A and B are shown apart, each in its own frame.
Chain A
Amino acid sequence: MSSFLALLQRELRAYFVSPLAWAVSTFFLFVQGLSFLMIVSFLSDPRAAGEVTPFVILFTSFFFWITLIFVTPMITMRLVSEERRSGTLEILLTSPLSETQMVLAKFCAAMIFWCFLWLPTVLYPLIIERYSDVDWGPVSSGYLGVLGLGSMFLAVGLFGSSFAKNQIVAAAATFAMMMVFFLVPWFGSLATGETLQLVFGYADLLSHMEDFSKGIVDSRRLVYYLTTTALFLFLTVRAVEAKKWR
């Protein structure tokens, strides 16, 4: 456990002393801030239909998905590939730390950084509350969706990083895998069979976030995020293990 915590600490330090992580934070907060400002301007227009709450837009807008697509590979790209490039992976693999513990420590560090990125955005509902009533239920479920999606894509990113020596290759691989997830609604629109439509509908992330942002928490979404996260973490462990016997 102490080895796990030591690695977690090391990973967190690596995030917070890295200028890249702060550049990512700057980009993230700027894009989210821009999105929030546009929502506020829209809702302040008396002609606006006002049929949505600001958080439905915040958690489902183009800006939300753009940040998700670009930020998660940037968070995970160096996690294993950097160890591989610098040769420290072999040292880690011969340490008392198991491969599973190593992967989990790196994943937990990425999740903590993901939460850190989103933390300042809690200010947005607090600002809205000054001018209008805020229903904190949908705000909380929106953040739950952010956590679920984040954990899934960070696991995908960790897997992408596990088989590449180069960080850029790792980010590109993650981006490519994430695109497959985003193409699900398109596959669904092509599918004619009811079963296929059901499967694609089940994995449609856009509709998932729509529900979360409205305040609907569906156990199917949570099962999907948790199992996908677990699957990619398992694959990452196996990819790291393979390094040992290859």
Chain B
Amino acid sequence: MSPNETKSQRPGAIAQGSLLTAGVVVVLALFALVNYLGLRHYERFDWTGSDIYTLSEKSEKIVQGLDRDVQLIVLLDPSAPSYAQVDELVDRYVAANPARIVRRDLDRAKSALEFQQLVADLGIESANTLVIESEGDKRVVNQYELVEYDYSAAQMGGSPKIKEFKGEQEITSAILSLVEAEKPKVVFTIGHGETTLEGSTSQRSLSEARRLLGRDNFEIDTWQSLDEPAVPEGTDLVVISAPTTRFTPPELESLSRWVGDGGRLLVFLEPSFEAGTTALKDVGLSEWLAAYGIETARNVVIDPGASVAFFGPDTIYTDAFGSHPVVESLAQTRAPVMLAGATSVNAGEGPEGAQIEALVSTTDQAWGETNVSEEGVAQDAEDLSGPLGLAVAVALGGNSEHTAANSETDGSESDESAGESRIVVFGDLDFATDSLLAQGANSLLFVNTFNWLVEREELIEIEGRMPEQTQLTMASGEIYSLGAVVLLLMPGSALFLGIWIALRRRR
């Protein structure tokens, strides 16, 4: 190369180099821009057969309808057993509405001061929590509320397995409670020996039921119906839980007015006995409920076709559900509910326009035992034969004939613009007590009922998810054979081909 050529080529090389640099810079900028846009606008797809990583339609609806920002603050330690599930679930919520939901991971080591301050502000005992925050309001979900474990394998020295992941229920409920303008108010009647959420009797404790209602943002109060003739103002739902003494006619009139004006009522009946006898008591609600098409009886349901081993004959399980919204998801999954000492509640003839549906029933082997004695149980001629209803839901259109009839008899004026009245009657309360609420789908039935009654259908059907699990049953001989295939045969074939090719090439 002559010195002249070098001189003439140098400007060309510089120009090429500059062009190359400029091209690289432009492409890098393009790379950053595309990734930035990809980060801002993205889609997540769930390829699992059971859509296990997809938010339920209900959660999706609530999240996409948010009109304010929500922050999901993850305080869980990455070593926490439920961390992987929570981590993925939080991402799912953010992906459902990236404009409104922001994820924040607060590391206790890196942001120690902020972490400690938040823990102190929230007054939480365990720092392993998920905090849902919106406009200064906060809800805390503890890691133990997110996962239900099955400890049965622990007896064999195994580790506990995740039975159910309830993260979606907890987070959606927390979000709803933050963004809901008003909390639905539930009043429990008192003064008739009812079991209330406030205290527990020696037989029944409803503390877990209270927690579930609190989680779903229900405000709970009581109503002394003997003292106050009208249902307290602002009430959304009246609950009568297992009364043991009679309701007076003025109290029943108050309830009629309430229902007639589009009120909502939930009744839990329990068979109770006359003092010192085995005769079943009448609490004075049968006739009143019959007017709405709900037939109750003084009996104890016995179902040999659905009895539970090691329990008394009156403890039964059932997966016979109707098609009502309260039990629709339970019917689809055939998740059974467990009841104890229930009384029968059947759908009867109601006022015109009333939609009366059985929610839960027994098998056809059941009967309603009316002669409860220590000698045992046996079906008699006077006992109702199965299948028997165990819960009934009634929906009455606004200003129905029944409403008008009640207004005429008690001289009250019904609200002309009253909406749909809703009543649900259960023949059992024990299914919602602490000892049975965790069994089967009891908690789902309990919460679904409350949510349907206050027209929060969006919260019905959010079920806990079962994590994907695989358990293989391979004998050690089969594992050895498998080892021979995957460790010897497959790599060996590649090795053999390699040697064969090398030898051929050498020739």
Q: Do A and B bind each other?
A: yes
Among B50, B472, B494, point to the contact of A22 (Cβ < 8 A). Answer: B494
Residues of A within 8 A of B48 (CB): 135, 137-138, 214-215
Assess whether B68 is interfacial by the CB under 8 Å rule: no
Determine the chain B residues whose CB is within 8 A of the CB of A197 once the complex forms: 105
**A29-69 interface with B by 8 A CB criterion:** 29-30, 32-34, 36-37, 40-41, 43-44, 46-54
Give the one of A17, A123, A131, A197 with max B CB within 10 A. A131
B residues within 8 A CB of A88? none
Q: Does A194 lie within 8 Å of B46, measured CB to CB?
A: no
| Distance between B507 CB and nearest chain A CB, rounded to angstroms | 13
B44 touches A37 (CB 8 A): no
A192 proximity list for chain B (CB < 8 A) = 110-111
Q: Are A46 and B501 in contact (CB under 8 A)?
A: no
Chain A residues within 8 Å of B492, by CB: 26
Q: How far apart sit A102 and B43, CA to CA, in the bound complex (Å)?
A: 34
For the complex, what is the distance from the CA of A120 to the CA of B39, rounded to whole Å?
34
Instruction: List B122-165 residues whose CB lies under 8 Å from chain A.
Output: 153, 156-162
Does A51 contact B24, Cβ atoms closer than 8 Å?
A: no
Contact B469 A30 (CB under 8 A): no
CA distance A220 to B95 in the complex (A): 11
Tell me whether A223 is interfacial, beta carbon within 8 Å.
Answer: yes
- Is B42 in contact with chain A by the CB < 8 A criterion? yes
Do B53 and A215 touch (CB < 8 A)? yes
List the A residue with the shortest CB-CB distance to B153.
A47
A224→B35 contact, CB < 8 A:
yes
Query: Is there contact, CB below 8 Å, between B45 and A217?
Result: yes
* A-contact 0/1 string along B447-487, CB 8 Å cutoff: 00000000000000000000111111110000100110111
Stretch at the interface among A93-101, A176-184, A237-245: A237-245
Choose, from B12-20, B212-220, B279-287, the stretch at the interface. Answer: B12-20
Is B3 positioned at the interface, with any CB of A under 8 Å from its CB?
A: no
* CA A223 to CA B479, docked complex, whole Å: 40
Tell me if A's interface is mostly helix, strand, loop or mixed.
helix
List of A residues within 8 angstroms of B468 by Cβ: 52-53, 135, 138, 214
Chain B residues contacting A216 (CB-CB under 8 Å) are: 44-47, 53, 88
Interface pick from B26-34, B246-254, B419-427: B26-34
- Taking a contact as CB atoms under 8 Å apart, the answer to whether A50 and B471 are in contact is yes
Docked-complex contact B153 and A33, CB < 8 angstroms: no
The answer to whether A26 touches B495, judged by C-beta atoms less than 8 angstroms apart, is yes
How far is B30's CA from A230's CA once the two chains are assembled, in angstroms?
11
Q: Does B490 contact A (CB under 8 A)?
A: yes
B229 at the interface (CB under 8 A from A): no
- Counting chain B residues whose Cβ lies within 8 A of the other chain, the interface size class is 35 or more
Of B16, B38, B104, B497, most A-chain CB atoms within 10 Å? B38
Task: Please name all residues of chain B whose beta carbon is closer than 8 Å to the beta carbon of A224 when the two chains form the complex.
Answer: 35, 38
- Are the C-beta atoms of B47 and A37 separated by less than 8 Å? no
* Cβ–Cβ < 8 Å partners of A141 in chain B: 47
From residue A123, how far is it (CB to closest CB) to chain B in Å?
Answer: 8
Q: Which residue of A lies closest to B50 (CB)?
A: A135
Which residues of A have CB within 8 Å of B111?
Answer: 192
A37 to B491, CA, bound (A): 14
Residue A227, interface by CB 8 Å? yes
Is B309 among interface residues, defined by CB-CB distance under 8 A? no
Question: B312 contacts which chain A residues (CB < 8 A)?
Answer: none
Q: Is the CB of B487 within 8 A of A34?
A: yes
- Confirm or deny: A86 has a beta carbon within 8 angstroms of a beta carbon on chain B: no
Q: Which residue of B lies closest to A234 (CB)?
A: B27
Cβ A37 vs Cβ B483 within 8 A: yes
Residues of B within 8 A of A214 (CB): 48, 53, 88, 468
By beta carbon, the residue of chain B nearest A222 is B38
User: CB distance B159 to A30 under 8 Å?
Assistant: no
Task: Please state if A19 and B498 are interface contacts (CB–CB under 8 Å).
Answer: yes
12 A-B residue contacts at CB 8 Å? A22-B499, A34-B486, A37-B487, A40-B482, A49-B161, A50-B470, A127-B482, A198-B39, A215-B52, A219-B45, A223-B35, A242-B20
Q: Given A47-B153, A48-B158, 13 more contacts at CB 8 Å? A: A19-B499, A27-B491, A37-B486, A47-B157, A49-B161, A50-B161, A131-B474, A136-B49, A138-B468, A202-B35, A216-B44, A238-B23, A242-B20
| Residues of B near any A CB (own CB < 8 A) | 12-13, 16, 20, 23-24, 27-28, 31, 34-35, 38-39, 42-50, 52-53, 84, 88, 95, 104-105, 110-111, 153, 156-162, 467-474, 479, 482-483, 485-487, 490-492, 494-495, 497-499, 501-502, 505
The 6 closest A-B pairs by CB, nearest first: A22-B498, A47-B158, A223-B38, A33-B486, A137-B47, A215-B48
